[in-house]
Structure 1
Amino acid sequence: MASTLPTLRLILASNSPRRRQLLTDLGLHYEVRLQEVDESFPPTLRRAEVAEYLAAHKAEAYRAGLAPDEVVLTADTIVCLDDDVLNKPADEAEAIAMLTRLQGRTHDVYTGVCLLTGTGHRVVFSDQTRVYFRSLTPAEIEFYVRQYQPLDKAGAYGAQDWIGMVAVTKLEGSYFNVMGLPVHRVWTELEKLGLARLS
């Protein structure tokens, strides 16, 4: 595999503007490639297992279309309150309900990542961040949901949004993991593939 390392091309299989920005900020060159993938998971899975399962499941959907010199990066972020997985809300009402449950509590954010090369080499990992939310008023929650429409975000919030500035009092772990990509882990794995280099 060493002979192919310098020529690998990175494919980001994500529509998330936050993941795109994080890879760009790392100085990585990549192509975005998208396709619809079912995001359901077995109910027996818990916490990090869910994030890793979904990331790997997404990557498998791209396997057949990968060239030998390509590596696809897929990721999935979930919010866990106790053992309940809070995925993307279906509508404003569900977003308000999720944030009402999260306010005044501590929850965990897991992001699973899969790197799959066109030659079949696969790495799956996840990272965990504990997030502390202060108590919020119903008016604050409704303002955030109506103004920011966080329906594309696990747990119905983005740490980089207004609510992250006013509600998150402490983080234990990577802030970027909460944004959707544990970039410190991603960089390390891409280094092994020859894709992350100082220029």
Structure 2
Amino acid sequence: MNLLRPLLLASNSPRRKELLAGLGLDFQIKVKEVHEDFPDHLKRAEVAEYLASHKADAYQHDLQHEVLLTADTIVCLEDRILNKPANYEEAFEMLSALSGTSHEVITGVCVLMKEQKAVFHDSTKVYFKKLTKAEIDYYIRNYQPFDKAGAYGIQEWIGMIGIERIEGSYFNVMGLPVEKLYAQLKALGVVR
């Protein structure tokens, strides 16, 4: 792929780095600490888009010719947003709640340039089989999913044994809807 401007990824997520590299794009990592609070009145997709946009705003004055990419993934179980678990107990509670049911994974993405900003999201429905307490315990102890919204990574052991099916993008559940991102970068004239 031909990038017409330097690309910055504002994320430490190994999954986002892997997915962006998989598109064949050269990029640099640039990370700032940004609080991930959001207004209570926002609906699910609005939360993901707000957080991605909010993260990008921290870089607004740093950009010259570069393109900045930020993203935020949330896991929604009915009206509840499951963030990153703080500890084993929270992770166990989240996975127990997801067990035997479906939930929605929404990733908000922001592409920011000095002269313009594009914000969008993608949504995937994920169906978990009924998990045993032993399976949940094994996963948490061995994979330490404390950096993952909803306390799981679809590409890890729990996804292999526990996810029956998904409706939508697998890569979105990993943390970056690459097909929508690529289309947006093309539309903005960043890649050709």
Q: TM-score range by the shorter chain?
A: over 0.9
**Of residues 171, 177, 187 in structure 1, which corresponds to 2:166?**
171
**AA partner of residue 100 (structure 1):** S
Residues matched between the structures, number: 191
2:88–2:140 CA contact under 8 A, matched in 1: yes
Matched, 1:32 2:29: yes
**AA partner of residue 71 (structure 1):** V
**AA partner of residue 103 (structure 1):** S
**AA partner of residue 131 (structure 1):** V
Q: What do the CA deviations read for 1:85-132 (whole angstroms, capped 9, x no partner)?
A: 00101111100110000000100000000001022x000000000000
Which structure 1 segments of 5+ residues have no match?
none
In structure 2, how many angstroms separate the alpha carbons of the residues matched to 1:40 and 1:122?
A: 21
Q: What do the CA deviations read for 1:64-99 (whole angstroms, capped 9, x no partner)?
A: 1111x1110000000000010001011111001100
**Of residues 75, 81, 85 in structure 1, which corresponds to 2:71?**
75
Name the structure 2 match of 1:14: 11
With normalisation by structure 2, the TM-score equals: 0.97
1:8–1:194 CA contact under 8 A, matched in 2: no
**AA partner of residue 81 (structure 2):** V
With normalisation by structure 1, the TM-score equals: 0.93
**AA partner of residue 112 (structure 1):** G
Matched, 1:149 2:149: no
Q: What do the CA deviations read for 1:46-68 (whole angstroms, capped 9, x no partner)?
A: 2101100000000001111111x
Name the structure 1 match of 2:112: 116
Which structure 2 segments of 5+ residues have no match?
none
1:11–1:30 CA contact under 8 A, matched in 2: yes
Structural RMSD (CA): 1.2
* Paired residue secondary structure (1:41): coil
Runs (4+) off by over 4 Å: none
